[in-house]
Amino acid sequence: MSKKSTVHAKLPTKWGHFTIYALEKSCDGKEHVALAMGELDQEEPLLIRIHSECLTGDAFSSLRCDCGPQLEAAMKKISEVGRGMIVYLRQEGRGIGLVNKIRAYALQDEGQDTVEANINLGFQADHRSFEVAAEILTSLNVSKVKLMTNNPRKVEALQEANIDVVERVPLQYGRNPHNEDYLSTKHGKLGHFLDQ
């Protein structure tokens, strides 16, 4: 991806002034965005968060997941250091889409966990790809990062794409009584680094 395939504009937020980059063409054909603050192409590693879209958590403050609080915490951390990026991927519902995510919620209401629900709908436990995140970082000249994540797959995906992950920064926010089982499943079945 070349810089010609990005458009950008200023985006003031309650955590400070970001620049939003919209990617017109990506390897998966979807429209993704990156929110950046400060200089990107310095030698110093860039603090980043790869965040998959979660309409229910990010926009509606759902307590079924920890997505919204993680996104807010990441933006706040970037604001505090004055430099960083959120790579926001259009991969709703761990990659299965919004309608299937609601179907998975219904199965969870009947007692299945998040992994069982996805599999019973005919998907992988985690259907996402993080290849496009590496593509976005490369297009914006970011090659060395401190990655805010609890998901080992994100670290591996960036390393495989020759992005130097110099540090994994834990991001554990949003635990509540409604998502205890969800977080336990992410830790036990998906290998996320979460305090139990």
Each residue of 130-145: pLDDT tens digit? Answer: 988 998 998 888 999 9
65: annotated binding-site residue? yes
Length of the chain: 196
Annotated ligand binding at 53? The verdict is yes
Pick the CATH number of 3-91+128-189 from 3.40.50.720, 3.40.1350.10, 3.40.109.10, 3.40.50.10990: 3.40.50.10990
Q: What are the distances in angstroms from CA 153 to CA 36, 83, 156? A: 23, 24, 5
Catalytic residues: 126, 128
Residue 139 in tokens: 């297009």
For range 97-126, the mean pLDDT: 95
Closest CA to 11 of 88, 91, 90, 92: 88
Q: Which residue has the higher pLDDT, 148 or 6?
A: 148
27 among the known binding-site residues?
no
13 has binding-site annotation: no
Least confident interval from 94-103, 111-120, 181-190: 181-190
Query: What is residue 25's predicted lDDT score, i.e. its pLDDT?
Result: 64
